[in-house]
Amino acid sequence: MFRVVLVGAGDRGMIYARQSLAPQSQFQISGVVEPNALRRKKAQELFRLPDHRLYESVESLVRDEKIADAAFNCTMDALHTVTSLPLMEKGYHILLEKPIAVTRQDAMRIIDCARRERRIVMVCHVLRYSPFYTAIRRIVRDGEIGRVISIQMAEDVSYFHESVSYVRGFYADPAVCGSGMLLSKCSHDLDLMAWLMDQDLPTRVFSAGSVFQFRPENAPEGAGTRCLVDCKCEQKCIYSARRLYVDHPQRWANRVWNDCALSEGSDAEKLESLKSENNPYGRCVYKTDLKIVDHQSLLVNFRSGATGTFTMTGGASAPGRSLHIIGTRGEIQGTFEDHAFTVSLIHPDIPGGCLKRQVSVSAGSRPGDAHGGGDENILQDFFALLDHREPSICCTSLEASVIGHNIVYGAEESRLTGLPVPLDVPGNR
């Protein structure tokens, strides 16, 4: 039974920590670091912690005796480096929420510290651990479709997720969260691209993107600055805060009300809150002065000459991640949300010239889990590492984990300069 201290008791942190309450769990929560008093109190009650195992900061935690084997570091993006370094120096191994860090320099500081202190740091690449991507990785690794020529990926961010997290929420402004849209949302996807390409390292990236939709000139006629205060078209607007966060609370509204400390509040209390200037979720999506892009595309060159493309589009009708890998002997094509993909192999001697089979992974997926079961599966690998057991195919070194991040760092530089950016990628796997 491993002891874990939870650093950051927000949505992601609690998803991991609650698994300690499951039957046959391999770990228990021994302490919580959380600056928000309400969240700290809820975590204390859930995990039955004494007062002296509650901390407002990592600084106060590391001043105390070492209370656990490892830490789940689920702080905001910009805090990953300043919290991870003292945790490692105190002796904690870390399960680190993505992204690793908001700059390549800070990511390398974490890598250097992990090497120096001989600590295990596993990055929360949870999508690797979903049955969909794990099955595809095995097929690519086994060479069934030959050498990869092209990998094409896309992520559609639903209009309700987009409005909550990336237009009205914390992640809309790098000054608040520390990272842009590509790093905060799509570091999953670029990690998958690098992981699926395996030893074929990325060498250059070019990217373009902008704020296309969420601009003042695109607001409907009669739109105000706040949905429930001065907007004449609120009842018809697809981004109505009332419709998204009160009438249909299943559409990411839990993020809104957790942030506003109104998870247990009445509808009347929530509507009143949305009217307040202090509630960012009541703002018109077209008039937030959005600081990050709402769509972005990039092209990656790999050392072999293969290419990769990725497109993120915010404001789609439904969430979706699609993938198409073309190799010298066949291809793989599928959509994550379908829990299935098609393998098409070149066969000149049969009608149509190719042999197709459908691969279903629905048996291993979990309905309603946005990461397809990855949140649970990644913990099994983390504790396998702590127990000196062989991890799964999904696990790579921290040095390899940063490769996908480097694509993101380079893509952001390219978007700003309009020029392709060479990538300095470590090859240690």
Assign 176 to helix, strand or coil: helix
φ, ψ of residue 173 in degrees (nearest 5): -135, 115
Same domain for 392 and 267?
A: no
Assign 97 to helix, strand or coil: coil
Closest CA to 332 of 98, 150, 86, 124: 150
| pLDDT at residue 366 greater than cutoff 80 | no
How many CB atoms neighbour CB 353 within 10 A?
A: 10
DSSP 317-372: SS-EEEEEEEESSEEEEEEGGGTEEEEEEE-TTSTTSEEEEEEE-GGGS-TT-TTT
Is 297 part of any domain? yes
Is 428 part of any domain? no
Assign 322 to helix, strand or coil: strand
Amino acid of residue 413: E
Under a CB-based contact definition with an 8 Å cutoff, are residues 89 and 121 in contact? Answer: no
Where residue 145 sits, what CATH number does that domain have?
3.30.360.10
Same domain for 175 and 315?
A: yes
Same domain for 113 and 140?
A: no
User: Domain boundary residue among 71, 103, 123?
Assistant: 123
Is 416 part of any domain? yes
Angle of CA points 324, 163, 194, to nearest 5°: 30
pLDDT band at 203 (very low <50, low <70, confident <90, very high): very high
Name the token pair of 1.
């039974």
User: Residue 237: what pLDDT?
Assistant: 96
Name the token pair of 406.
């480097």
Same domain for 185 and 242?
A: no
Cis, bond preceding 420 (omega within 30 deg of 0): no
How far apart CA 428 and CA 55 sit, in angstroms, is 36
User: Residue 249: what pLDDT?
Assistant: 85
User: Residue 298: what pLDDT?
Assistant: 98
Same domain for 330 and 402?
A: yes
Pure H helices in 27-158:
37-47, 58-63, 80-90, 104-117, 131-141
| pLDDT at residue 42 greater than cutoff 80 | yes
How far apart CA 162 and CA 21 sit, in angstroms, is 31
Domain that holds residue 146: 127-214+291-422
Per residue in 125-180, pLDDT (tens digit) is 999 999 999 999 999 999 999 999 999 999 999 999 999 999 999 899 998 888 89
Is 281 part of any domain? yes
Same domain for 210 and 220?
A: no
246-272 burial, b for 16+ CB within 10 Å, e for fewer? beeeebbbebbbbbbebeeeeeeebbe
Domains contained in the chain, number: 3
Name the token pair of 232.
């004449």
User: Domain boundary residue among 73, 98, 123?
Assistant: 123
